[in-house]
Structure 1
Amino acid sequence: MRKDPEKLGLYVFFFLLVVFQLVLIFLNEKTFGGADSISHYHIAKYAFKYPHLFLDLWGKPVYTTLLSFFALGGFKLAQIFNLIVAVFSLYVVYIIARQYFPKSAFSITVLAAFAPIYFVLTTSCLTEVLFGLVLIISVYLFFAKKYLFSAIVLSFIPFVRSEGIVFLPVFAAALVLSRAYRSVLFLLTGTLFYSLVGFLAFGDVLWIINRFPYPTGESVYGNGSLFHFIKKSDTIFGIPMLTLILIGLVVETTDVLKKFSLTSPKTIHYILVVGSWLTYFAAHSYVWWQGRGGSLGLIRVIGGVLPLAALSAAAGLEFILDKTKGKRAILVIAGFVMASQLLLFLFKSDLPVKAPETDKLIEKSARFLKENQLNGKVYYFNPMIVFHLDLDPYDKTKSNWGIGDKLKPSNSMDYGDIIVWDAHFGPNEGRTSLATLKNDASLQLVKTLLPVQKITVLGGHDYGVYIFQKVKNRVASGRSETIVRDLGIAESDAPQILKYNGENALEMSPATEYSPNIIVAMNELPSGEIIDVELSIEFMGDAEIFEKEVLLIISVENERENLRYEKRSLLWGKDDSDWKKATVNTRFSADIPQSSIIKMYIWNKDRKKLFVKSLNAEVKAH
């Protein structure tokens, strides 16, 4: 039997890809998708213990069922499940492309594997990869004229990702145009199957609708531009692949319109491939623009149609290679495209992946609970807490997501119970404010974990993790020490100090860009966990001062490294006439080098004229 060198090369490529991804699974500090990946893993891991989880619509029944066997072996084995699915998907892409775009099949498979969003999804515990496999297999079966099987396989796609429902009318149209009328009815197979299973489990034949986990109205996550995913297309596909997709769309559209016929194979293939992935792309663009359906505008969702979009890229590359004369020239172009995709991906990626500070703080909070033997029931908002504590998230005697009473959370807790609030999940998904917890007389704040650098998360909240415990008698917070400093404007006889409006004032003229600094060194402060800084000013402007023209600055520095930078604009209007007060605050972890300093000053960025009556700093360690 004659060997196929291209297929041999494909198998070698898959082997190297798998080895590379396996190494990253063990070296990466975090998995793509963060808390969502952890939640899918937990649902699958505990589904055999709590069978109703097999029908959890957020977890996605098909994904949960297939992942569950791997999840029993731990999180890394669950990641390997997605890797297996991804490689199988890429192989199907190759098989289809080899039939319709033979010169491009191998190259497009490589491009898809190193499409930025698909590469990171490959070792997550997210649903997009299995979603892509179901879709590409359905297309493969359709092209093989196995219409009935194609319809049955696709019918289960809404139970891999809910938005898969948008493909049903597209495939229905393609089946009708192919005169496979009977197969159209089988697009309901998955829904009928799960409706029956749900009826037996819950006694509700409409459970899919009644238990739908996403809001149908406005989303808590807000909205964004209609062109959000278009603008992010290079990050999704990679520039080489995106360029080929655009060429392919033009080529295929032109080809279909030349001798347009609704029932021609080219038109049907166009509807099935281009129609499917563009409909999905447009649907996600619309719901993010409208702020509906729980959309967060995450670009990873487009990874679900990337294998199918790869066929459009194949059409673009095939067009270029068909215009190329000579086998060597074809190899050079194909090699250049693959190398460009790979090198651009590696250049822009920071591998192995480092855990962000937010994840590190969650892990630290779990370590704090273990080390201090705080063994009460844990109420949490970020699913990674129970992951790091190795708790069964469905055992309500040990942990509970969210809190029932959002007005007085302690009402839902027993004495000794713990609540771990984080600034991302707490106020958004959890609908619980930090102020509510602090104002609850039965909750004692036992630990605060803050990043050194400011991190602003969803809702404009400064990120932090706060651990509370329900107690009978709340005690005052521990010892703190405050350092108070000012510029000493009243006592100075420096030439910049003059009398203005009856007060000693520092004059900042257009020739003065910076005020003198107020500096507090970290080694001046007592040991503590948190540093609070407040810088206040009383000033007058000689003329109007607008946003960003004059800034009040707090800068935390260690030699040449800036650890934190907080600023506030000083504003002076034409109707202002008396001394005006302004304040800027910041709060950060004390876990920084003792050689660091806190530097506070005025930056007269646009060289305005103003007078400063006082500039006072208060730095507290606790």
Structure 2
Amino acid sequence: MKNKESKTKNTPPLKSSELTDWNQTKTWLLLSMSTVVLTLIYYMVNSPRPYDDDNIGRYFMSQAAFVKPGYFLDIWGRPMAILLFSIPAQFGYWYVASGVALLTVMTCFFTYKAAQESGRPYAWMVVLFVFFQPLVLTTSFSLCAEPLAAFFVAIALYFYYRNKLWQAALLFSMVPLARSETVLILPLIAIPWLRERRWVPVLLLGTGLAVYQIAGMISTGDPLYLLTQSKAFGHGLYQNGPFEHYFQRFIFITGPVIFVFLLFQLVSDIRLRKLSLLNTSVVLMFAVHVYFYWKGNVASVGFLRHFVAVGPMIALLALDGFNRWIGFEDKQKTNSVVWDAFILAALSVLILAYYSFELVGQYFLSDKAEHLKFGTALVLFLLFILRAVLKLDGIFFKKMMITGTVILTVAYCFVKEKPLTFAPEHQTVKNCYDYYKENIRGKTPKVMIAHTWWFFFDNFNNYTKTMEEGGYESMRKEKLADLPVGSFVIWDSHYSHRLSSNVQLREDLAGDKNFQLKQQFLSSDQKFVIYIFEKVKQPS
């Protein structure tokens, strides 16, 4: 039986009069892929730092994996990431980042191939809809695990739409080894196969987790290794957050153009009672992340980048919305013009009322009013009205719609997503490290330190080496008394008092006469501080 989603039913064959060069794939695929590659090069050349703190930890862990093979199974490091990063990590951070950039390019290409195999018009447009999701762009050369998950999702969808179910199942089974929460998508894939009695692909969906379980069982002797790791991972590690966290920020994950087309298609699917692998998976992942962060019962800190894992699915749904918007929907079947106009108008109002603010960094919201997103949605609405209501439905106007979509999609990312320069906290750590190299290194028996970026600037892999090998000591209050006189404690307001560290500034250092404040560094935004204390005497 042919895969039911191998050809999308909501995009009927083009009329001969509509077969223009703008829907021919070779030229526009080449242009869109070239845009992706050139943008990647520009952002990498102008980004002197890793994406975030987790990238540094994963880099050092990957570098250490051949010395400590247990890291290949580490659930925080993500087994797939450690496996793929371990060899290039031996040569340096940017070798790994370049490899991820290559995988991102391949993700765009295979999402295009999935769109092409499923019969979607303007398949080349999906390349831009994948890459120019703001969070995809900013993580496209990072050591985050999400771009790896997105790559396996994209290539799996390609085989899925080709009706190569065995290959698709094997590739889908790898996705949870990059992002564990995506395991919840596997039942959505399996259900239609079970109905069609396709037993082998269903069994193959468990391949990735089975390999992980067997490897863990051999390594530790735990017959329930997978269950043990799942229960232990991150529970109680972070505080919970507000229920509306991802609702308020989702437009910043996708960008306004993709946001409009995605919701346009999802609302239309709901109205038509249409279920597909794409819409159910995206909605499920959104609900899962909302719940996880709201309840705080797993290692969820509310990062927006988690949705990069399903970026290809978001892009394909946005392409469906785009084709509906531009006029490829079967009007006799849906009688949709009025409904579509209403949906687009409602989305414009929603963006004006709910999203007229800025995102600060990758996490926080500002009170500053910003209406670029609303303006983008309004342009899309007006273009639809001109096409569908005023019947400006000729080839020239459709070219205007396509051109406008491309410009709005790409321009928003260039305006809002700048290359990764040092944040105030990172620059402060760098300034402190430079001070340490000039004034302290080689003149003190030990240095107590906790900040992840310190080890990155020092190129000291604390996953391979012991802290003592670098003249360092872990930031633990129980070790303060044992520090030799002349040692330094470099306390920072981010890491030194939390997670694996527990040194409190006032009671353990400032309030202890055995330590003397020598220097302090305050970030330019005054949100982060480093204090350097010297141990001047032993406790009596």
Please tell me whether residue 31 in structure 1 is matched to residue 31 in structure 2: no
Partner of 2:379: none
1:129-167 Cα shifts (integer Å, max 9, x gaps) = 111112222232222222222222222222211212211
Please tell me whether residue 388 in structure 1 is matched to residue 464 in structure 2: no
1:438-469 Cα shifts (integer Å, max 9, x gaps) = 145554444321124421xxxxxxx2112345
Asked whether the equivalents of residues 481 and 538 of structure 2 are also in contact (C-alpha less than 8 Å), the reply is: no
Larger radius of gyration: 1
Asked whether the equivalents of residues 140 and 147 of structure 2 are also in contact (C-alpha less than 8 Å), the reply is: yes
**CA distance in structure 2 between the aligned counterparts of 1:398 and 1:436, rounded to whole angstroms:** 29
1:247-303 Cα shifts (integer Å, max 9, x gaps) = 11133344455xxxxxxxxx5xx0x11111211111000111112212111111112
Partner of 1:63: 81
User: How far 1:25 moved relative to its partner?
Assistant: 1.6
**CA distance in structure 2 between the aligned counterparts of 1:22 and 1:278, rounded to whole angstroms:** 33
Asked whether the equivalents of residues 365 and 449 of structure 1 are also in contact (C-alpha less than 8 Å), the reply is: yes
Asked whether the equivalents of residues 518 and 533 of structure 2 are also in contact (C-alpha less than 8 Å), the reply is: yes
User: How far 1:179 moved relative to its partner?
Assistant: 2.5
Counterpart AA for 1:243: V
Partner of 2:390: none
User: How far 1:193 moved relative to its partner?
Assistant: 1.1
Partner of 1:79: 97
Give the secondary structure class of the aligned counterpart of 1:421: strand
Please tell me whether residue 336 in structure 1 is matched to residue 404 in structure 2: yes
Asked whether the equivalents of residues 148 and 186 of structure 1 are also in contact (C-alpha less than 8 Å), the reply is: yes
Asked whether the equivalents of residues 117 and 161 of structure 2 are also in contact (C-alpha less than 8 Å), the reply is: no
Give the secondary structure class of the aligned counterpart of 1:103: coil
Partner of 1:238: 255
Partner of 1:597: none
Partner of 2:36: 17
Partner of 2:331: none
Asked whether the equivalents of residues 379 and 399 of structure 1 are also in contact (C-alpha less than 8 Å), the reply is: no
**CA distance in structure 2 between the aligned counterparts of 1:402 and 1:254, rounded to whole angstroms:** 60
Query: Following superposition of structure 1 onto structure 2, how do residues 152-551 of structure 1 map, counting pairs within 5 Å?
Result: 152-212=170-230, 217-224=235-242, 226-257=243-274, 267=275, 270=276, 272-323=277-328, 325-349=393-417, 351-375=418-442, 376-394=445-463, 395-396=465-466, 397-398=468-469, 403=474, 405-406=476-477, 408-411=478-481, 413=483, 417-429=487-499, 430-438=501-509, 439-440=511-512, 442-455=514-527, 463-470=528-535, 472-473=537-538
Asked whether the equivalents of residues 44 and 141 of structure 2 are also in contact (C-alpha less than 8 Å), the reply is: yes
**CA distance in structure 1 between the aligned counterparts of 2:517 and 2:226, rounded to whole angstroms:** 41
In structure 2, the CA distance between the partners of 1:331 and 1:377, relative to structure 1 (3 Å rule), is farther
Give the secondary structure class of the aligned counterpart of 1:247: helix
Query: Following superposition of structure 1 onto structure 2, how do residues 536-575 of structure 1 map, counting pairs within 5 Å?
Result: none
Q: TM-score, normalised by structure 1?
A: 0.67
Counterpart AA for 1:354: T
In structure 2, the CA distance between the partners of 1:78 and 1:217, relative to structure 1 (3 Å rule), is closer
User: How far 1:128 moved relative to its partner?
Assistant: 0.8
Matched positions, count: 450
**CA distance in structure 1 between the aligned counterparts of 2:235 and 2:70, rounded to whole angstroms:** 27
User: How far 1:187 moved relative to its partner?
Assistant: 2.3
In structure 2, the CA distance between the partners of 1:99 and 1:185, relative to structure 1 (3 Å rule), is closer
In structure 2, the CA distance between the partners of 1:453 and 1:244, relative to structure 1 (3 Å rule), is closer
Give the secondary structure class of the aligned counterpart of 1:105: coil
In structure 2, the CA distance between the partners of 1:195 and 1:446, relative to structure 1 (3 Å rule), is farther
Structure with greater proportional helix content? 2
Identity %: 22
In structure 2, the CA distance between the partners of 1:317 and 1:232, relative to structure 1 (3 Å rule), is same
1:352-392 Cα shifts (integer Å, max 9, x gaps) = 33311111111122212211243445443321111101112
Give the secondary structure class of the aligned counterpart of 2:519: strand
Asked whether the equivalents of residues 36 and 128 of structure 2 are also in contact (C-alpha less than 8 Å), the reply is: no
Asked whether the equivalents of residues 83 and 122 of structure 1 are also in contact (C-alpha less than 8 Å), the reply is: yes
1:330-361 Cα shifts (integer Å, max 9, x gaps) = 22211111101111222223x33331111111
**CA distance in structure 2 between the aligned counterparts of 1:343 and 1:363, rounded to whole angstroms:** 32
**CA distance in structure 2 between the aligned counterparts of 1:217 and 1:392, rounded to whole angstroms:** 26
Partner of 1:121: 139
Asked whether the equivalents of residues 405 and 412 of structure 1 are also in contact (C-alpha less than 8 Å), the reply is: no
In structure 2, the CA distance between the partners of 1:412 and 1:305, relative to structure 1 (3 Å rule), is farther
Asked whether the equivalents of residues 486 and 535 of structure 2 are also in contact (C-alpha less than 8 Å), the reply is: yes
Counterpart AA for 1:464: V
**CA distance in structure 2 between the aligned counterparts of 1:60 and 1:402, rounded to whole angstroms:** 27
Using the TM superposition, name which of 77-86 and 425-434 deviates more.
Answer: 425-434
Please tell me whether residue 7 in structure 1 is matched to residue 79 in structure 2: no
Asked whether the equivalents of residues 120 and 320 of structure 2 are also in contact (C-alpha less than 8 Å), the reply is: no
**CA distance in structure 2 between the aligned counterparts of 1:283 and 1:100, rounded to whole angstroms:** 27
User: How far 1:401 moved relative to its partner?
Assistant: 9.4
Give the secondary structure class of the aligned counterpart of 1:467: strand
Give the secondary structure class of the aligned counterpart of 2:457: helix
**CA distance in structure 1 between the aligned counterparts of 2:232 and 2:532, rounded to whole angstroms:** 29
